[in-house]
Amino acid sequence: MIPRLPTNVGRSIASNLSAPQHRPRPLPLFLDMLRNETAKDPVRMKAALAGLRSYQNAPRPARPPEAAVVGRIGRVTLRGHGAQGRPILFVPSLINGSEILDLGAQNSMMRGLAARGLNPVLLDWGTPGPDEADVGLGGHVERYILPALDMLGKDAALAGYCLGGTMSVAAAVLRPPKALVLIAAPWDFGGFSSQTRNDLLELWRSAEPVSRGFGLLPAEILQQIFWRIDPSRTIAKFEQFARKDAASPEGQNYVAVEDWANDGPPLPLAAGRDLMEGLMAGNMSGEGRWTISGRTIDPDGLRIPVLNILSTTDRITPAASAWRGGERIALDEGHVGMVVGRRAPQSLWSHLATWLSHLQDS
């Protein structure tokens, strides 16, 4: 028999309704997932609920001062973190915000690289409106990434994280930068489990008719994508958080990451369709069938330096889905932990700084 959630769970967990970032969105579906994952273990259920309450009631870490704006392209903003040297355009995923690459004053990959003498420029996607409903992934490459590279000059390098890496591959094929860096970037979507691909396609098919009415795929739907990939891990994180001091540096980092994950912008409908049907279900990139403006996106033809960083423990972007080319470095941090975890400065940031510094000298 599946135990019921406590009768006061709605009041105790949703007491901060005026601050949506204090709770996973959509909360009812999260609670259903929590119940399903802990149904046979009331002790785990109690711990997960305690962690959830602790997360909601935790003090919110201050955002770092925004970096200087070095360019704007429509809704996209380019923010510079370095003062000199070859500009390196960092493209985050379209899903969730760009803040993950500049999370906090003491935990920012952008600021960490700038402190090492590099010149990172962060592309902030902004928030799309219904007027961009027909802008697919290729449209984002052509409307935003390529003009951003042009704005930074012919000496600029390009780096992409997660789906931003997939799109950066396309940009590099269409207009090669000086170098390309991929961080946890999926390419061969056959590397995802068939269950994950089928589940996400089912989620898309149920959400698409409603989303079509206003041209955007809501952030709440996008959040469910990550929950469905690894529901057990999602709930386990809250169980573990129940044992932490929410005000400690480690606790505050957890809160910042969860707030980021629960506060992303919507996705233009066409981009959602390209991701779910074209890439995730159809594996058009991995099978050499992805085209933009009539040109096949084939990274095997790149003749520029490429650094390809992946994680062997990544549950969001499995290592098996990474492009097999470039100079590969395998880490054992998770998809988000590799960027903002406590080992990130000595691991990912260090690898990036070393490789990009050598590029600066060439």
Structure-block tokens of residue 299:
């990274």
* Nearest Cα residue to 353 out of 160, 116, 180: 116
SS3 state of residue 210:
helix
What's the average model confidence in pLDDT over 288-312? 97
> What's the pLDDT at 3?
41
Reduced to 3 states (helix: H, G, I; strand: E, B; else coil), residue 81 is coil
pLDDT digits (tens, 9 = 90+) for 38-85: 999 999 999 999 999 999 999 999 988 999 999 999 999 999 998 789
Tokens of 360: 């600066």
Using the predicted structure, report yes or no on whether residue 11 has a pLDDT greater than 50.
no
Work out the average pLDDT over 305-318. 97
Within a domain: 23? no
Mean pLDDT score, 137-158: 98
Q: Model-level pTM greater than 0.75? A: yes
What is residue 5's predicted lDDT score, i.e. its pLDDT? 45
338 found inside a domain: yes
Report residue 50 as tokens.
């305690």
pLDDT, one tens digit per residue, over 178-216 is 999 999 999 999 999 999 999 999 999 999 999 999 999
Question: Is 27 part of any domain?
Answer: no
The enclosing domain of 73 has a CATH number of 3.40.50.1820
The Cα–Cα gap between 56 and 97 comes to 20
209-265 per-position pLDDT tens digit: 999 999 999 988 888 888 888 899 999 999 999 999 999 999 999 999 999 998 889
Query: Domain limits at 185?
Result: 68-191+268-361
Q: Quick one: average pLDDT of 301-306?
A: 98
Question: Does 116 score more than 50 pLDDT?
Answer: yes
Position 21 confidence tier, pLDDT thresholds 50, 70, 90: very low
Q: What is the pLDDT of residue 105?
A: 86
pLDDT at 1: 38
Residue 99 CB partners (closer than 8 Å, separation 6+):
63, 260
Total domains in the fold of the chain:
1
Per the model's pLDDT, the better-predicted residue between 330 and 83 turns out to be: 330
DSSP letter at 279 equals I
Q: Is the pLDDT of residue 7 over 80?
A: no
Would you state the structure tokens that stand for residue 269, as one six-digit string? Answer: 């409908």
Percentages helix, strand, coil for the chain (3-state, rounded to 5) are 50, 15, 35
Question: pLDDT exceeding 90 applies to what percent of the chain?
Answer: 83
Query: How many whole angstroms from its chain centre is CA 196?
Result: 17
Contact in structure between 77 and 124 (CB atoms under 8 Å): yes
Structure confidence at residue 362 (pLDDT): 66
The chain-wide mean pLDDT, for the chain, equals 92
Orientation of helix 249-261 relative to helix 42-57, angle to 10°:
90
Report the pLDDT value the prediction gives residue 249, as an integer from 0 to 100. Answer: 94
Q: What phi and psi, each to the nearest 5 degrees, are found at residue 80?
A: -90, 135
Report, as an integer, the average pLDDT of 111-138: 97
Tokens 């040297």, residue located? 85
Task: State whether the Cα torsion 329-195-277-209 is positive or negative.
Answer: negative
